[in-house]
């Protein structure tokens, strides 16, 4: 179940974009709560003594009650707990806030009609989460550091249980019989430890998989993969417990693993289905008529309990009861912890104020996971055939970014859905641009005086002008090329004039007279990204936060996405660079200068000189002389590296020897996990929530500048990544969850 650490992350102020993202998340309801042997929940069992416990609803104190041998046992102390988890003969509870951890032996008989509590952890400085009790060990994760901590359980003769290396940071952990496993934050791979060999075996079986959730049983572990959300199980398959039914991706919202079976809660209807040995004995499908819906499930060696959706009571199947389902007399149990912070991620559970009796809310459990797509090379098979010339070595370096693989995943659906929302803002410009006379434009620019010159684009000189109605414009004046036909120019122009997007510099009109090629654009008062990053006359005050930089990157990516995917015909920009990314009054970034190279080289003619700007040119272009959409992606990758490092696309090395490209400077270091050694020091130190965002941008940039065009992400993938990065900046610890 969701733990308060994540609830605390609930950002109080959301951008509308994030709100939309969350709405998407909620509607998908793709989640995998970790409710099983060895994972924190609000229902737990000590299977060895057939004791089942739950955190009670309807009290200001979310205290624990247990059921054992036909008796209801009230657990002391009567204080609030956020999570409980059970082992073989004992169970443990994490107090609300995570500052202390208590365990109770269920085998020792009662003392004053209660199990005797034993506090095994207390710290005000290092609160815990992810309580994961195994057969005879207790593990939990430090909220801040992600470090895993383990203790020996209460079982008599239980051996000391090792903690994982303190340097490892976990995203989640789970405990089985004699082993525990977690997902590492840095690369989402599975790491296991313990007192028997099972953990290392399971770890090696998961070796190449990037996971987002994990649940342990006695000797097997299941979870969802980061790429595709498929359910995979590893470990002992003695009874077929690893044999996941086909088409499992996104099918289950929770898992419970026993000694030889695996059960999943179908996310669409909350119905349990199980496979593996003893699944028939459990006889779940038949005894529940396949129609009882559960909020969560948890398993012991050969028993299974679930919290019924209808009235939040616990229903169990266990041997002592011949596996016919029994509703335990424990009353209503909360389906998740009661938290004080507002729930932003997936909303508030119905009636949760009542369930918590005023002491907070229960946040709806939602996605541990969403369909992720990994941007790493998709079809490596196809690349070796291609001529690579001298690019192989660098390609290998680019490929070796496993250390950041976790940050390289993207939320596919989210990106698509958000992109869709963004595209609703765009529309086809109904007026096909205005036609200006040469006289009008001359008047607007004091006869194209040099004082009005504000720059030079690929198309020619750019002047600032003021039309007779006071509108400020930028006017581009191109050289005349007699061998290019005026009508070709005009038809291309018509296409450009129809483009109208928030992140493209708008074209106001053109001048069709004579051989003049004059194009009139909206004026962008705050200059170019290049100016702000590299021009000493500009202060970096505006671009001094990661959030602002990532927003500008996202704006630019959205402009390019429009050109590639929504313009008719599609347009390849061919000259993406930071000086073509302009900033309006509000620092919304817009892509400028699009379409000119298209006009210059219709049909991507082959004989033309190399187009583009040194430092930004797609290395494949040198070989093929053909620009593709992936050439723009390369250019954008260089822009992302500029944004990250503050270095120009090509710069003089500190030593004064020769010049270095920003890709040479940054790619291998980012790949080697040294993102924080290359970032622009002028930016305010990243807040905790921004760290993952910046790493994600770095990782995306590295993928964009892959020497192999095919292996670069599409612009849609990039937009998705940058949206996610920006959402992370806006949203506190959402990072941990998504």
Ligand X SMILES: *[C@@H]1O[C@H](CO)[C@@H](O)[C@H](O)[C@H]1NC(C)=O
Active-site positions read 575
- Give the one residue of 65, 175, 189, 731 binding ligand X; rule: CB under 6 A: 189
Output the smallest distance, CB 71 to ligand X, in A: 17
The CB-of-542 to ligand X minimum distance in angstroms stands at: 5
Residue 313: CB minimum distance to ligand X, A: 4
- Residue 565 DSSP label: I
Alpha-carbon 110 to chain mean position? 47
Alpha-carbon dihedral 541, 542, 548, 551, rounded to 10 degrees? -150
In this structure, are residues 209 and 225 in contact, taking their beta carbons and an 8 Å threshold? yes
Size of the site for ligand X (CB under 6 A): 32
Closer by beta carbon to ligand X, 280 or else 513: 280
Q: Please tell me whether residue 451 adopts helix, strand or coil conformation.
A: helix
**Binding to ligand X, residues 617-656 (CB under 6 A):** none
Which one of 1-9, 44-52, 283-291, 555-563 is the stretch in contact with ligand X (CB under 6 A)? 283-291
* Cα of 601 vs its chain's centroid, Å: 39
Q: Smallest distance, Å, CB 401 to ligand X?
A: 10
Verify binding: residue 311, ligand X, rule CB under 6 A. yes
- Interface residue with ligand X, options 12, 124, 247, 289 (CB under 6 A): 289
Is residue 215 within 8 A of residue 180, CB to CB? The reply is no
Window contacting ligand X (CB under 6 A); options: 182-190, 236-244, 295-303, 503-511: 182-190
16 binds ligand X (CB under 6 A): no
Q: Applying CB under 6 A, which of residues 526, 544, 565, 714 lies at the interface with ligand X?
A: 526
Measured in whole angstroms, the distance separating CA 573 from the mean position of its chain's CA atoms is 28
Residue 201 backbone dihedrals phi, psi, to 5 degrees: -65, -45
User: What Cα–Cα distance (Å) separates residue 166 from each residue in 126, 132, 152, 187, 293?
Assistant: 14, 17, 17, 16, 40
Nearest-approach distance from CB 442 to ligand X, in angstroms = 6
Q: How far is the CB of 693 from ligand X (least distance, A)?
A: 20
Residue 332 CA to chain centroid, in angstroms?
35
Minimum separation from the CB atom of position 499 to ligand X (A): 17
Give the shortest CB-331-to-ligand X separation in angstroms. Answer: 6
* Coil, strand or helix at 42: coil
Q: Which stretch binds ligand X (CB under 6 A): 180-188, 293-301, 350-358, 720-728?
A: 180-188
584-603 footprint of ligand X as x/- string (CB under 6 A): xxx-x---------------
- Which stretch in 6-14, 150-158, 179-187, 730-738 sits in contact with ligand X by CB under 6 A? 179-187
Binding residue for ligand X, selected from 46, 143, 184, 563, defined by CB under 6 A: 184
Site residues (CB under 6 A) for ligand X, limited to 222-281: 280
Q: Determine, following the binding rule CB under 6 A, whether residue 70 of this chain makes contact with ligand X.
A: no
What's the CA gap between 363 and 336, in Å, rounded? 7
Site for ligand X contains 327 (CB under 6 A) = yes
Give the dihedral sign, CA 442/443/449/453.
negative
468 forms part of the interface with ligand X (CB under 6 A): no
DSSP assignment of 646-694? ---SEEE-TTSSSEEEHHHHHHHHHHTT-HHHHS-TTSPPPPHHHHHHH
Looking at beta carbons only, is 451 or 603 nearer to ligand X? 451
Does residue number 313 form part of the binding site for ligand X (CB under 6 A)?
yes
Least CB distance from residue 403 to ligand X, whole Å?
A: 7
> How far apart are CB 186 and ligand X at their closest, in Å?
5
Enumerate the β-bridge partners of residue 457: 460
Residue 122 CB neighbours (<10 A): 10
DSSP annotation of 163 reads P
CB 361 within 8 A of CB 352: yes
* Binding-site residues from annotation for ATP: 476
Among 74, 111, 437, 490, binds ligand X (CB under 6 A): 111
Between 280 and 680, CB nearer to ligand X: 280
Please report, as residue ranges, which positions from 131 to 160 form the binding site for ligand X (by CB under 6 A): none
Nearest CB to ligand X, comparing residues 50 and 190: 190
The separation between CA 322 and the C-alpha centre of its own chain, rounded to angstroms, equals 45
User: Could you give the string, one character per residue 382-421, with x where binding to ligand X holds by CB under 6 A and - elsewhere?
Assistant: --------------------x-------------------
Could you tell me if 414 and 383 are in contact, meaning their C-beta atoms sit under 8 angstroms apart? no
Query: Under 8 Å CB-to-CB from 642, ≥6 apart: which residues?
Result: 529, 530, 533, 534, 578, 648, 649, 662
Distance CA 489, CA 503 (A): 24
- Tell me which stretch binds ligand X (CB under 6 A): 44-52, 282-290, 412-420, 703-711: 282-290
For ligand X, the closer of residues 283 and 432 by Cβ is 283
Tokens standing for 122? 């207390």
3-state secondary structure 185-236: CCCCCEEEEECCCHHHHHHHHCCCCCECCCEECCCEEEEEECCCCCEEEEEC
Annotated binding site: 476
CA dihedral (619, 620, 624, 626) in degrees, to 10, reads -90
* Contact call for residue 15 and ligand X (CB under 6 A): no
* Residue from 12, 70, 124, 208 in contact with ligand X (CB under 6 A): 208
Contact letters for ligand X, residues 340-359 (x by CB under 6 A): --------------------
DSSP state, 503?
T
SS3 assignment for 187-199:
CCCEEEEECCCHH
Contact 24, 151 (CB under 8 A): no
Q: Quote the least distance from Cβ 282 to ligand X, whole Å.
A: 9
Task: Out of 172, 186, 298, 302, name the contact with ligand X by CB under 6 A.
Answer: 186
Helix or strand or coil: residue 170? strand
Q: Does 112 bind ligand X (CB under 6 A)?
A: yes
Give me the sign of the Cα torsion angle 131, 224, 737, 199: positive
Q: Judged by CB, which is closer to ligand X: 2, or 220? A: 220
In this chain, which of 172, 236, 288, 352 binds ligand X, going by CB under 6 A? 288
Residues in 434-453 that interact with ligand X by CB under 6 A: 442, 446-447
* Distance from C-alpha of 66 to C-alpha of 331, rounded to nearest angstrom: 11
Spell 527-539 as b/e; 16+ CB within 10 A means b: bbbbbbbbeeebe
283: contact with ligand X by CB under 6 A:
yes
- Neighbouring-strand partners of residue 148: 141
Rounded to a whole number of angstroms, the minimum distance from the CB of residue 610 to ligand X is 34
Task: Give the residue from 25, 213, 30 showing the smallest Cα distance to 724.
Answer: 25
13 versus 112: smaller Cβ distance to ligand X: 112
Residues listed for the chain: 738
| Residues 263/271, Cβ–Cβ less than 8 Å | no
Binding site for ligand X (CB under 6 A): 111-112, 184, 186-187, 189, 207-208, 280, 283, 286-289, 292, 311, 313, 325, 327, 331-332, 402, 442, 446-447, 525-526, 542, 584-586, 588
């Amino acid at each position: 179940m969701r733990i308060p650490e994540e609830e605390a992350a609930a950002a109080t102020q959301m951008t509308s974009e994030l709100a939309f993202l969350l709405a998407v998340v909620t509607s998908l309801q793709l989640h995998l709560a970790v409710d099983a042997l060895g994972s924190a929940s609000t229902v737990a069992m000590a299977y060895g003594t057939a004791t089942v416990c739950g955190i009670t609803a309807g009290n200001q104190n979310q205290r624990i009650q247990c059921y054992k041998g036909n008796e209801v046992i009230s657990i002391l102390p009567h204080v609030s707990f956020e999570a409980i988890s059970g082992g073989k003969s004992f169970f443990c509870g994490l107090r609300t806030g995570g500052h202390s951890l208590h365990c109770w032996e269920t085998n020792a008989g009662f003392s004053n009609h209660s199990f005797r509590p034993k506090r095994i952890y207390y710290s005000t400085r290092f609160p815990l989460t992810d309580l994961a009790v195994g057969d005879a060990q207790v593990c939990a994760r430090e909220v801040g550091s992600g470090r895993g901590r383990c203790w020996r359980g209460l079982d008599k003769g239980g051996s000391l249980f090792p903690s994982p290396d303190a340097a490892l940071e976990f995203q989640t952990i789970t405990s089985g019989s004699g082993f525990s496993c977690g997902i590492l934050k840095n690369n989402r791979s599975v790491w296991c430890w313990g007192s028997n060999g099972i953990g290392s075996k399971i770890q090696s079986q998961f070796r190449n998989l990037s996971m987002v959730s994990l649940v342990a049983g006695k000797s097997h572990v299941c979870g969802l993969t980061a790429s595709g959300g498929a359910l995979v199980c590893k470990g002992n398959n003695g009874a077929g417990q690893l044999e996941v039914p086909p088409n499992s991706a996104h099918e289950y919202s929770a898992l419970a693993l026993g000694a030889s079976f695996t059960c999943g809660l179908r996310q669409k209807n909350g119905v349990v289905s199980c496979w593996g040995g003893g699944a028939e004995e459990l006889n779940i499908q038949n005894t529940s008529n396949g129609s009882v819906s559960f909020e969560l499930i948890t398993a012991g060696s050969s028993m299974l309990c679930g919290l019924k959706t209808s009235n939040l009571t616990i229903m169990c199947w266990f041997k002592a009861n011949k596996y016919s389902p029994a509703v335990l007399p424990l009353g209503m149990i909360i389906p998740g912890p009661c938290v004080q912070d507002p729930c932003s991620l997936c909303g508030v559970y119905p009636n949760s104020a009542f369930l918590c009796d005023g002491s907070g809310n229960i946040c709806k459990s939602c996605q541990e996971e969403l369909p992720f797509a990994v941007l790493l090379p998709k079809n490596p098979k196809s690349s070796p055939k291609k001529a690579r010339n001298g690019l192989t070595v660098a390609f290998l370096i680019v490929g070796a970014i496993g250390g950041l693989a976790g940050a390289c995943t993207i939320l596919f659906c989210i990106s698509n859905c958000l992109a869709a929302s963004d595209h609703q803002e765009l529309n086809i410009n109904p007026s096909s641009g205005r036609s200006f006379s040469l006289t009008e434009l001359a008047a607007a620019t004091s006869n194209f005086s040099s004082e009005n010159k504000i720059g030079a684009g690929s198309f020619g000189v750019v002047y600032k002008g003021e039309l007779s109605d006071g509108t400020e414009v930028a006017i581009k004046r191109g050289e005349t090329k007699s061998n290019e036909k005026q009508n070709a120019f005009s038809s291309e122009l018509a296409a450009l004039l129809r483009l109208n997007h928030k992140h493209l510099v708008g074209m106001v009109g053109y001048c069709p007279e004579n051989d003049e090629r004059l194009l009139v654009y909206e004026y962008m008062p705050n200059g170019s990204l290049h100016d702000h990053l590299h021009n000493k006359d500009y202060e970096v005050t505006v671009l001094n936060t990661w959030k602002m930089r990532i927003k500008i990157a996202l704006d630019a990516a959205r402009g390019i996405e429009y050109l590639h995917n929504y313009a008719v015909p599609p347009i390849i920009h061919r000259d993406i660079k930071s000086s073509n990314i302009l900033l309006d009054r509000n620092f919304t970034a817009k892509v400028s200068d699009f379409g000119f190279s298209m006009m210059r080289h219709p049909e991507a003619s082959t004989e033309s000189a190399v187009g583009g700007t040194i430092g930004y040119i797609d290395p494949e272009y040198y070989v093929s002389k053909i620009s593709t959409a992936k050439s723009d992606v390369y250019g954008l990758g260089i822009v992302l590296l500029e944004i990250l490092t503050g270095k120009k696309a090509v710069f003089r090395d500190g030593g004064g020897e020769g010049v270095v490209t920003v890709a040479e400077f940054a790619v291998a270091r980012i790949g080697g996990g040294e993102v924080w050694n290359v970032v622009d020091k002028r930016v305010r130190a990243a807040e905790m929530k921004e760290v993952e965002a910046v790493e994600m941008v770095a990782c995306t940039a590295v993928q964009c500048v892959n020497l192999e065009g095919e292996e670069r992400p599409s612009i849609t993938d990039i937009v998705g990544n940058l949206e996610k990065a920006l959402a992370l900046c806006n949203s506190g610890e959402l990072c941990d969850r998504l």
